[in-house]
Amino acid sequence: MNESAKLIREKAERAWQRYQSRRLAPEFEPEWIQPDYQRLQDWLDGKTANESAVREILDSFDVPDGSVQQSLVGKVVIEDGFLVGTTSWIFDRRNECDLEIYREWIILSRALNPAIVAAVRGLEFPAMGRFWMAFLRHPEKRFRGHLPGIGPCMSLEEMHALIDLQEDFNC
């Protein structure tokens, strides 16, 4: 294995360990793996040879927290390698989130990092300083065409309404 491949493998292993270290208690942790981490795990296990996708994922983890980037939807902020406020960003720190069960859904709420908010004045964040997402633990219980998680939402009430809408729509 050449030096570059060895470094990529070491970074991928550290990223996978990070994912594992942030697991919820067994009764709440989903049976599925967040898609970027699933790609890392598949590559580490030799199930795929797509090193360029792995490099792209790992490069996102190297972006400094608080970085502001231009996107299709305007300016976005990066923390922990994810866009602040997205379901991936919330889920990444799931073991630090507030957790609630609603119907069969597990709702996570992640607080904004005050240092990040202070660094990016002018961007709009929820008044409560939190974002919510929800997921179904068991993949077989997913609704038709449904991704593992839904959200983000700006309030718990909005999250409940989105879950209600999902369940009413998929009856």
Q: Are 104 and 97 in contact (CB under 8 A)?
A: no
Instruction: Please state, in angstroms and rounded to a whole number, the distance separating the CA atoms of residues 107 and 125.
Output: 19
Mean pLDDT (whole number) for 127-150: 74
Q: Quick one: tokens of 84?
A: 């602040």
The mean per-residue pLDDT over the stretch 18-43 comes to 93
- Sorted by where each begins, the domain ranges of the chain are 1-62, 65-171
Mean pLDDT of the chain: 86
* pLDDT at 120 (0 to 100): 66
* pLDDT tens sequence across 46-96: 998 888 999 999 999 999 998 888 878 777 888 999 988 889 999 999 999
For residue 121, pLDDT beyond 70: no
More confident residue, 96 or 4: 96
The tokens describing 3, both together, are: 């030096």
pLDDT above 90 covers a percentage of the chain that reads 51
Phi, psi dihedrals of residue 159, rounded to the nearest 5°? -65, -45
- The mean pLDDT value for 16-28 works out to 96
- Does the pTM surpass 0.75? The reply is yes
pLDDT over threshold 60, residue 142:
no
